[in-house]
């Protein structure tokens, strides 16, 4: 099975570019990518020649190399990411080493553990789960993205049911029982979502740019509490 996503394609002495398999084939057809250029994708231990990439279509007629910087087959970089040429440790004398292990060349904007834990303390783990979900969307981790979605739904449903029963004055046991229940849910969230995600970020294989745009999560958090207090006042 061919890996999906965007490949890093480079030639000696030039920055790498992100191209899909279709973009590589278009570049080969136009001469903007050559068969002896090199490619790499997450999970590979070293750079390989484009000629060895399964699924590429090598033109039968030799092409004259076109300037790579103007290739129309390129795809825009992922949101929150930027590409850069491999570092000097893998480019002896400024040329890309064929046997060099590629280094992380994607810089992703993600929320730090401190940010999503602090916001969860003040605005419940609904906000923390949403921030963790944004991180896993950026890193394209499907399994952990599902876990973040699970906790986002669980916390949203739990808070919605709890507040609805409270505002409707439905007898459902002492408040202490609800506090214990939400506390147990919070502990489960910490050990199955928050802490594992913190470990994932610590062992990351990408360059992290910690996000500081707190405006939107703070705004949604305060808006949530305003709605809760408004509903409380209207039902008294």
Average pLDDT over all residues of the chain: 76
Of 175, 151, 153, the C-alpha closest to 163 is 175
Mean pLDDT of 231-236: 76
This prediction has a pTM of 0.55
Are residues 125 and 213 located together in one domain of the fold? Answer: yes
The alpha carbon of 162 is separated from its chain's Cα centroid by a whole number of angstroms, namely 32
Are residues 74 and 140 located together in one domain of the fold? Answer: no
In a domain, 124, yes or no: yes
Q: How many domains does the chain have?
A: 2
- DSSP letter string, 105-161: -BEEEE--HHHHHHHHHHHHHHHHHHHHHHHHHHHT-HHHHHHHHHHHHHHHHHHHH
Are residues 216 and 122 located together in one domain of the fold? Answer: yes
The 10s digit of each residue's pLDDT in 197-218 is 998 888 876 667 788 888 888 9
Tell me the residue range of the domain where 182 lies.
109-234
Mean pLDDT of 71-90: 38
- The pLDDT assigned to 148 comes to 92
In a domain, 38, yes or no: yes
Are residues 180 and 66 located together in one domain of the fold? Answer: no
List the single range of 10-14, 115-119, 138-142, 156-160 with lowest mean pLDDT: 10-14
- The pLDDT assigned to 24 comes to 85
Are residues 49 and 117 located together in one domain of the fold? Answer: no
Of 137, 140, 166, the C-alpha closest to 236 is 166
Q: Is the pLDDT of residue 174 over 80?
A: no
- Which residues are paired to 49 by β-bridges? 38
Q: Is the pLDDT of residue 139 over 90?
A: no
Are residues 170 and 202 located together in one domain of the fold? Answer: yes
Question: How much of the chain, in percent, has pLDDT values that exceed 70?
Answer: 74
Question: How much of the chain, in percent, has pLDDT values that exceed 90?
Answer: 18
Instruction: Check residues 141 and 66 and name the one with the higher pLDDT.
Output: 141
The residue from 60, 94, 128 where one domain ends is 94
Of 131, 83, 89, 127, the C-alpha closest to 108 is 83
- Residue ranges of E strands in the chain: 7-10, 17-19, 38-40, 48-49, 107-110, 207-210
Instruction: Check residues 3 and 24 and name the one with the higher pLDDT.
Output: 24
* Residue 127 pLDDT class (50, 70, 90 cuts): very high
Q: Is the pLDDT of residue 153 over 90?
A: yes
CB atoms inside a 10 Å sphere around CB 192: 13
> Which tokens in the block code for residue 118?
């602090």
- Determine the Cα–Cα distance for residues 113 and 72; give it in Å rounded to an integer: 39
Are residues 126 and 164 located together in one domain of the fold? Answer: yes
List the single range of 20-24, 119-123, 196-200, 207-211 with lowest mean pLDDT: 207-211
**Coil, strand or helix at 9:** strand
Are residues 198 and 90 located together in one domain of the fold? Answer: no
Are residues 166 and 82 located together in one domain of the fold? Answer: no
The 10s digit of each residue's pLDDT in 37-79 is 888 887 776 788 888 888 888 887 766 665 544 333 333 333 3
């Amino acid at each position: 099975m061919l890996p999906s996503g965007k490949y890093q394609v480079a030639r000696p002495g030039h920055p790498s570019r992100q191209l899909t398999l279709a973009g590589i084939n278009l570049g080969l057809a136009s001469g903007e990518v050559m068969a002896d250029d090199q490619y790499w994708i997450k999970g590979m231990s070293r750079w390989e020649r484009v000629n060895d990439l399964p699924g590429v279509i090598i033109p039968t007629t030799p092409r004259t190399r076109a300037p790579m910087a103007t290739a129309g087959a390129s795809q825009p970089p992922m949101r929150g990411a930027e590409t850069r040429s491999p570092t000097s440790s893998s480019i002896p004398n400024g040329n890309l080493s064929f046997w060099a292990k590629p280094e992380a060349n994607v810089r992703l904007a993600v929320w730090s553990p401190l940010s999503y834990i602090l916001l969860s303390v003040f605005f419940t783990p609904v906000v923390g789960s949403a921030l963790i979900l944004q991180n896993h969307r950026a890193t394209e981790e499907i399994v952990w993205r599902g876990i973040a979605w699970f906790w986002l739904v669980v916390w949203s449903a739990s808070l919605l049911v709890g507040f609805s029963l409270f505002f409707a004055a439905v007898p459902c046991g002492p408040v202490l029982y609800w506090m214990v229940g939400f506390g147990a849910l919070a502990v489960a969230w910490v050990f199955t979502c928050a802490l594992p995600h913190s470990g994932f970020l610590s062992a990351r294989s990408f360059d992290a740019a910690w996000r500081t745009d707190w405006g939107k999560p703070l705004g949604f958090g305060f808006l949530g509490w305003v709605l809760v207090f408004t509903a409380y006042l209207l039902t008294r």
